[in-house]
Amino acid sequence: MKGFISGLPKVELHLHIEGTLEPEMLFTIAQKNGVTLPFESIAALRDAYQFNDLQSFLDLYYWGAKVLRTEQDFYDLTFAYLERCHDEHVMHTEIFFDPQSHMQNGVAFATVLNGIDRALQEGKAQWGISSGLILCFLRHLSEASAIETLRQALPYKEKIIAVGLDSSEIGHPPEKFVQVFAMAREAGWPTVAHAGEEGPSENIWRALEDLQVSRIDHGVRCSDDSALVETLRQRYVPLTVCPLSNVKLQVFDDLSQHNIMQLVEQGLCITINSDDPAYLGGYMTANMLAVAETFDVSKAEMARFTERAITASFLPEEEKDVLR
């Protein structure tokens, strides 16, 4: 199975680029930029990667993102992730970025976008990896801040494939962002939202109905509501599930308790993704292998995760056919 999963072509639809910042690069960039760190060593930083919920992770993740300052930093971060994609046979990846975090740190929107985009072009040229960028609003900030971010993104319309919503789910439900999501759809962007990760299944309904999203990120709490599961099945709404992330953030006690294969059996469009691989347990291969081994999934069934991810991607139909 290990050899099969390693070689299996993969598609990733839920990956935060800031969540690919490995401790080694974090330290190197911090030193270069003169950012002082509250950790003495790479080992001490790694030791801090023990989380009991989403917020305890986000606190460290936003702190880590503070070392990123220059266009080259964003290029290097993204290029290192794409090298990993190449090693792991990821053919296509749709990447979240959080411009508001960086703008709060005094980094311009253009610096972030141009650095990431240049690496994506290089990944396409060197390895043929296709990609798309998804601008995420931070849900712990105001809708006014999201609207201002959307305004700044408009000149880069062609470099962004969709708009999403991430950060602290509890206390910041989807309906807080109805207006900005309407504006994003008006501008021609499809939308996605993190919902039902550690927040209630009602957030999945609100993302579908109030934000009119095309995909749900995580969505695992849908199992609490059988009518919702039936709706997700009928509409074949993709869920971008992140198994190792869910265990690290204690959404499930351990992988054997995860509902991913139950949701597959119920006929939902379930994909496997890595979320924040530098912090939360591993990249695509590690996530797929953990699922295969924990649930004794056949090779044919594992290949269907890639097939569903192709279908669920924002690629044009003719490019999906090339991947199939």
Residues with catalytic function: 197
Q: Which residues of 7-29 are buried (b: 16+ CB within 10 A; e: fewer)?
A: ebbbbbbbbbbbbbbbbebbbeb
140 labeled binding residue: no
Q: Does 194 bind ligand ES4 (CB under 6 A)?
A: yes
CA distance 105 to 103: 5
CA distance 110 to 90: 27
Q: Please give the order of strands across the beta sheet that includes 10-16.
A: 10-16, 90-97, 130-138, 162-166
Q: Does 67 bind ligand ES4 (CB under 6 A)?
A: no
- The two structure tokens encoding residue 304: 């269907």
172 labeled binding residue: no
Residue of 113, 211, 276, 283 that binds ligand ES4 (CB under 6 A):
276
Contact 191/212 with Cβ under 8 angstroms?
yes
Contact 130/138 with Cβ under 8 angstroms?
no
Contact 316/130 with Cβ under 8 angstroms?
no
Q: How far is the CB of 126 from ligand ES4 (least distance, A)?
A: 27
Contact 268/232 with Cβ under 8 angstroms?
yes
- The two structure tokens encoding residue 274: 């890595």
Q: Does 166 bind ligand ES4 (CB under 6 A)?
A: yes
Contact 159/95 with Cβ under 8 angstroms?
no
Report the chain's C-alpha Rg in angstroms: 18
Residue of 167, 271, 274, 313 that binds ligand ES4 (CB under 6 A):
167
Q: How far is the CB of 61 from ligand ES4 (least distance, A)?
A: 6
CA distance 173 to 150: 19
Strand-pair partners of 269:
238
Q: Does 117 bind ligand ES4 (CB under 6 A)?
A: no
Residues from 238 through 267 that contact ligand ES4 (CB under 6 A):
245
Residue of 10, 19, 215, 305 that binds ligand ES4 (CB under 6 A):
19
- Residue 260 interacts, among ligand ES4, Zn ion, none and using kind-specific CB cut-offs from 5 to 8 Å, with none
Contact 153/181 with Cβ under 8 angstroms?
no
Residues from 145 through 164 that contact ligand ES4 (CB under 6 A):
none
16 labeled binding residue: yes
Closest CB to ligand ES4 among residues 71, 166: 166
Closest CB to Zn ion among residues 13, 291: 13
Residues that bind Zn ion (CB under 5 A): 275
Closest CB to ligand ES4 among residues 19, 115: 19
Q: How far is the CB of 261 from ligand ES4 (least distance, A)?
A: 21
92 labeled binding residue: no
- Residue 22 interacts, among ligand ES4, Zn ion, none and using kind-specific CB cut-offs from 5 to 8 Å, with none
CA distance 18 to 78: 9
Classify the C-alpha dihedral 279-283-286-292 as positive or negative: positive
Residue of 15, 25, 30, 54 that binds ligand ES4 (CB under 6 A):
54
Closest CB to Zn ion among residues 12, 22: 12
Q: Does 219 bind ligand ES4 (CB under 6 A)?
A: no
275 labeled binding residue: yes
**What is the distance of C-alpha 85 from the center of its chain?**
14
* Secondary structure element (H or E) that encloses residue 54, with its range: helix 54-65
Closest CB to ligand ES4 among residues 97, 109: 97
Closest CB to ligand ES4 among residues 94, 197: 197
Q: Which residues bind ligand ES4 (CB under 6 A)?
A: 16, 19, 54, 61, 166-167, 194, 197, 245, 275-276
Binding residues for substrate: 276
Binding residues for Zn(2+): 14, 16, 194, 275
